[in-house]
């Protein structure tokens, strides 16, 4: 049995809403409702403990009833660590998954991976690599100096943090009265042993200040389509990956139909036209150019206009060659070009059962879809 402990006892003072930030709505839905649904709908979660203040319990209970979720409410303690300990003590499961109520975008995959890790290894904590360089600071009076800077092997710790309940309670029992831990992974690592890291997601961010609650109306959807003819004497390049084949795609550039369709989708999401407008086939400087170079320019245009890529999906339509062995390489390369993790890129392949231009092996087409986010802060 697995219990989820949702930590909702904080006041959210940095958000400065004048009420618990978990009751703030995003796209018309309270943050707490999004978080609760992620766990109440998950097949591995058998019990939900909500740690909250007395003044917020009624509002949280009304949301739980609206979702039809069975929830046990527990009072918070003097600090986060005490609140979590209260929740874990109330849990009936052999495994507990502790999660910040202010992380409403947690995916089912992260929950699954953390819980399974805890069941098998005793712990499972969601983490993502630090993308910014971190620095150690030394002080000389009021002046600050960087004494070291690196990001190798530096990760940002998220939640859920799942543990064997008995081991976590033992760690709490060994904790010094004046010891302060910002989360349970540090406590567990000190008193029990190695705490196993599980791949998290950048999207699983914690909502802390008011700007974090920007509505997802800042998301933009884009669609792109491209088709190129297959001819002898050309290399076949898809997603920046060369595919062994007796024919390649005809075009002014290297005719990478996948990157072209994705580029058009990204540009359309930001109302920036299409690649034909920006890289016309009448311009000799683009003759034979790698579409990776063109894609980099598209990404630069997005960034200059205040957009970042959220996710990309594409369907490659080709009778031949068989592309499934190359999907992983294409996915990883496209993710790298987009500046996102591979789980943000989906590529599927299909034949057209011998029908039409594609079915007659005369060409390859791609339909691409994307989400971008307009950054307003």
C-alpha to C-alpha distance for 262 and 225, rounded to whole angstroms: 8
Q: Note the pTM of the prediction, 2 decimals.
A: 0.59
SS3 call for 160: strand
Interstrand relation of 143-150 and 134-140 (parallel, antiparallel or unpaired): antiparallel
SS3 call for 126: strand
Residue-level pLDDT, tens digit, the chain, 377 residues: 999 999 998 776 666 677 889 998 886 788 999 999 999 999 999 999 999 999 999 999 999 999 999 999 999 888 889 999 999 999 999 999 999 999 999 999 999 999 999 999 999 999 998 877 777 788 877 777 776 666 677 889 999 999 999 999 999 999 988 888 889 999 999 999 999 999 999 889 999 887 777 666 678 999 999 999 999 999 999 999 999 999 999 999 999 999 999 999 999 999 999 999 999 989 898 899 999 999 999 999 999 998 889 899 999 999 999 999 999 999 999 999 998 888 889 999 999 999 999 999 999 999 999 999 886 54
Tens digit of each residue's pLDDT (9 = 90 or more) over 217-237: 678 999 999 999 999 999 999
pLDDT score, position 1: 94
The answer to whether 242 touches 221, Cβ cutoff 8 Å, is no
**CATH architecture designation of domain 216-374:** 2-Layer Sandwich (3.30)
Residue with tokens 């760690």: 171
Residue spans of the domains in the chain: they are 2-213, 216-374
The answer to whether 149 touches 243, Cβ cutoff 8 Å, is no
pLDDT score, position 377: 41
SS3 call for 178: coil
The answer to whether 122 touches 88, Cβ cutoff 8 Å, is no
Tens digit of each residue's pLDDT (9 = 90 or more) over 61-76: 999 999 999 999 999 8
pLDDT score, position 139: 83
Query: Tokens in use for 130?
Result: 């630090």
User: Which CATH number, 3.40.50.920, 3.90.550.10, 3.40.50.1860, 3.30.420.10, labels domain 2-213?
Assistant: 3.90.550.10
């Amino acid at each position: 049995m697995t219990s989820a402990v949702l930590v909702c006892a904080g006041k959210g003072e940095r958000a400065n809403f004048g009420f618990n930030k978990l009751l703030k709505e995003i796209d018309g839905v309270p943050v707490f409702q999004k978080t609760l649904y992620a766990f109440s709908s998950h097949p591995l979660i058998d019990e939900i403990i909500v740690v909250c203040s007395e003044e917020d319990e009624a509002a949280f209970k009304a949301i739980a009833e609206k979702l039809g979720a069975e929830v046990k409410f527990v009072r918070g303690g003097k600090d986060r660590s005490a609140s979590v300990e209260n929740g874990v003590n109330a849990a009936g499961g052999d495994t507990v998954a502790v999660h910040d109520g202010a992380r409403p975008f947690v995916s089912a995959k992260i929950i699954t991976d953390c819980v399974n890790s805890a069941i098998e290894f005793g712990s499972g904590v969601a983490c993502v690599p630090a993308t910014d360089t971190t620095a150690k600071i030394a002080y000389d009076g009021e002046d600050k100096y960087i004494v070291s800077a690196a990001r190798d092997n530096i990760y940002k710790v998220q939640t859920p943090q799942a543990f064997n309940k008995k081991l976590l309670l033992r760690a709490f029992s060994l904790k010094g009265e004046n010891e302060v831990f910002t989360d349970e992974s540090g406590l567990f690592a000190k008193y029990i042993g190695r705490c196993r890291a599980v791949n998290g997601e950048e999207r699983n961010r914690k909502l802390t200040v008011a700007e974090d609650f920007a509505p997802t109306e800042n998301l933009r959807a884009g669609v792109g389509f491209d088709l190129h003819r297959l001819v002898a004497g050309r290399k076949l390049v898809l997603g920046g990956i060369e595919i062994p084949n007796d024919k390649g795609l005809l075009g002014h550039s290297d005719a990478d139909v996948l990157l072209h369709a994705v580029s058009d989708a990204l540009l359309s999401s930001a109302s920036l036209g299409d690649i034909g407008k920006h890289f016309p086939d009448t311009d000799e400087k683009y003759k034979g150019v790698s579409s990776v170079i063109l894609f980099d320019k598209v990404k630069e245009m997005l960034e200059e206009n205040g957009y970042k890529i959220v996710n990309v999906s594409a369907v490659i339509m080709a009778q031949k060659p068989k592309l499934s062995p190359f999907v992983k390489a294409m996915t990883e390369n496209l993710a790298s070009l987009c500046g996102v993790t591979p789980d943000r890129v989906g590529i599927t392949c299909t034949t057209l059962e011998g029908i039409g231009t594609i079915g007659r092996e005369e060409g390859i087409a791609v339909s691409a879809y994307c989400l971008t986010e307009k950054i307003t802060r």
